[in-house]
Structure 1
Amino acid sequence: MPSTLSLTAARRSPFRVIALDLDGTLLDERMQILPANVDALQAARQRGIEVVLVTGRHHIAARAYHQRLGLDTPAVCCNGIYLHDYVSDTPLRGEPLPVADRLALLERVRRDGLHALAYLGDRFCFETGEPVLDEVMAWAETLPDALRPRFERVDDLAPVLTQAERVWKIAVSHVDPAALPAFARGVEAELGLGTVQTGPLRLDIGRPGHSKASGLLHWLASRGLDADQVVAFGDNHNDVSMLMAMGHGVAMANAPAAVRERADEVCGDNDQPSIAAVLQRLQAEGLLG
């Protein structure tokens, strides 16, 4: 990984965009944004720098953070499968799962004994709970009604998946992390879908060819910007594409080793104002704004 000095020497122009993953990166372990990070991002925006959220989350589960930061940029959601404009409250682009793929995936999930969480256009649907989902639902209950994502437990996901206008992705989980790689290989080879691991016990599945990098690049092109003008922060396997494709990729200290190794820089963990520290350093070096 390059040192701060080599980064400074290599840059001819400052970064104009800050791209941020949420869970494990911008959010601390209580699912909150540290005040110091809020202040640093607001200061950057006041200097004309664009801030964009690039997350595996559904837009309804990222809305509270988008509002907390006072952003007007779209969010790249579900690992680049779609972009959501909060001003008009509509997707700008996206590629939901076809009905046949939804049902084939559900059949495989049931056969292999996994849990499934479907990301519909306006809500989440599931048949059985699991610890990570329980934690997210508990967090949702702390939000005001207008910002609270909707979770719906159903007896049978099949009719829901058949009738839904949009299913952006389906997240699956298993108590045994060793079960996920084989499941992912089967889904990719036999169903032709894209997979990315977003936690030790969780796998996200959607249309192939999408990633955080591809979604962010689409937005950058719409703004007349390029990847070299972006400093990106992330912590998980679904962030690797973005960390490698952008001008400067920063991995959190709490990221797995495989993620840290692919970043240009490793900062502190998500329970410290590590993002603020990086942004303040880049500003001091004339590399931000």
Structure 2
Amino acid sequence: MDRPKLVASDVDGTLLDPLEKVTPRTAGVVARVVASGTPFVLVTGRPPRWVPPVARAAGLTGYAVCANGATVYDIGAEEILSVRGLSPMQLHDVTHALRKLLPDIRVAAERTAVGPVSAAGVPAAFATEPGFRNPWGNPRDAPEGGMDGENNEVPTAEVLGHPATKLLIRHHELSSDELADAAGSVLNGARLEITFSTNRGLIELSAAGVTKATGLSEVCERLDVPASRVVAFGDMPNDVEMLRWAGHGVAMANAHHDVLATADEITAPNSEDGLAQVLERWF
């Protein structure tokens, strides 16, 4: 493609190296992208509160698409611009249906509200029922404990009792592929998005039609950039729709097989600055 008018990148396994760092080479090319006036958008499964450490490391202050497309976040303004979530009734019905097939699942909910990220009156941003364990723990540089860790355990009714951007479902004996297949068989017709960004027995459910592609499309509308002029990078199934939507979709060599099959191009792994290797063509 011609020099892109917007760069979109997944975070974990793509922008970050295996040590969860932005390497000097990648930081350098991101700086050149930004200096050229080309927006560089983070598109991640992470909630907004887990984005600032990555944005600081990459030197970014623009937009981030969070929670697999459910939230658009203005990094510099520290403001949530839009949210598309699940209702308490949906959360309850999905959990009840899945427990009939998989009694041992544990659930958690991510919550975000439009407005300043520090706004009062919003329920705890992350709530888990007893026994849920986040495979990531706390991301580096995030506050320990409380709603940023695995320790905000509340009764199941409290987890499911507020609108959420994502419902996270964990099973300690199944892979994420296996868990997603099981959930799909139970929730067929429920019009929910089922995806995952790790294969360690965790899947993430979003409202119907909510994907990284829809969140990125909203950002591109704000910036008046057509999909055909977007280059997007990713590595896991929650990136598939984004790579299909973008004018040029790039999979990391370390990507899930579904992503490799979808991409227009496969670059080097995140351990070898695969993202930088592609962007250096233009910047």
Match of 2:274 in 1: 274
Query: Residue deviations 1:231-283, cap 9 Å, x none?
Result: 11000111111111111111000112221121111011111112111111x22
- TM-score (norm. length: structure 2): 0.85
* Residue of structure 1 equivalent to 2:120: none
Change (3 A) 1:149 1:23: farther
Q: 1:106–1:20: structure 2 CA closer, same or farther, 3 Å change rule?
A: same
Matches within 5 A, 1:18-33: 18-33=7-22
Q: Give distance in 2, aligned partners of 1:39 and 1:87.
A: 20
| Residue 170 (1) aligns with residue 167 (2) | yes
2:51 aligned with 1:54: no
Question: Who is 1:74 aligned against?
Answer: 63
Residues 129 and 160 of structure 1, relative CA distance in 2, 3 Å threshold: closer
Distance across 2 between alignment mates of 1:260 and 1:144? 31
Note the alpha carbon deviations across 1:195-250, whole angstroms, 9 max, x for none. Answer: 12333222110111111111111110111111111111000111111111111111
Preserved contact between residue 19 and residue 53 of structure 1 (Cα < 8 Å): yes
Amino acid in the other structure paired with 1:193: L
Over residues 79-134 of structure 1, what are the superposed CA-to-partner deviations in whole Å (9 max), with x where a residue is unaligned? Answer: 1112112233332112111111122223345442212221122522112243xx25
Q: Distance in 2 between matches of 1:237 and 1:270?
A: 16
- Structure 1 length as normaliser, TM-score? 0.83
Please state whether the residue corresponding to 1:30 is helix, strand or coil.
Answer: coil
The one-letter code of the counterpart of 1:125 is A
Paired position in structure 1 for 2:75: 86
How far residue 181 of structure 1 moved from its aligned partner, in angstroms, is 0.5
Between the aligned partners of 1:100 and 1:91, the Cα distance in structure 2 is 24
Q: Which has the higher contact order (CA 8 A, sep 6+)?
A: 1
Structure 1 residues 203, 216: closer, same or farther in 2, change over 3 A?
Answer: same
| 5+ long unaligned stretches in structure 2 | 113-123
Q: Percent identity?
A: 27
Match of residue 206 from structure 1: 206
- CA–CA distance in 2 between the matches of 1:73 and 1:25? 19
Structure 1 runs of 4+ off > 6 angstroms? none
Show the 5 A alignment for 1:1-289.
11=1, 13-111=2-100, 112=102, 113-121=104-112, 123-127=125-129, 128-130=131-133, 133-134=134-135, 136-137=136-137, 139-140=138-139, 142-143=140-141, 145=143, 150-151=148-149, 152-162=151-161, 164=162, 166-174=163-171, 175-177=173-175, 178-189=178-189, 191-200=190-199, 201-280=201-280, 282-283=281-282
Q: Is the 8 A contact 1:36 1:273 kept in 2?
A: yes
Q: 1:180 to 1:246 in 2, by over 3 A?
A: closer
Q: 2:202, 2:132 → 1: CA distance?
A: 13
Indicate the structure with greater helix content: 1
- Quick one: distance in 1 between partners of 2:228 and 2:8? 12
Deviation at 1:144, TM superposition (A): 6.0
Q: Give aligned pairs, total.
A: 263
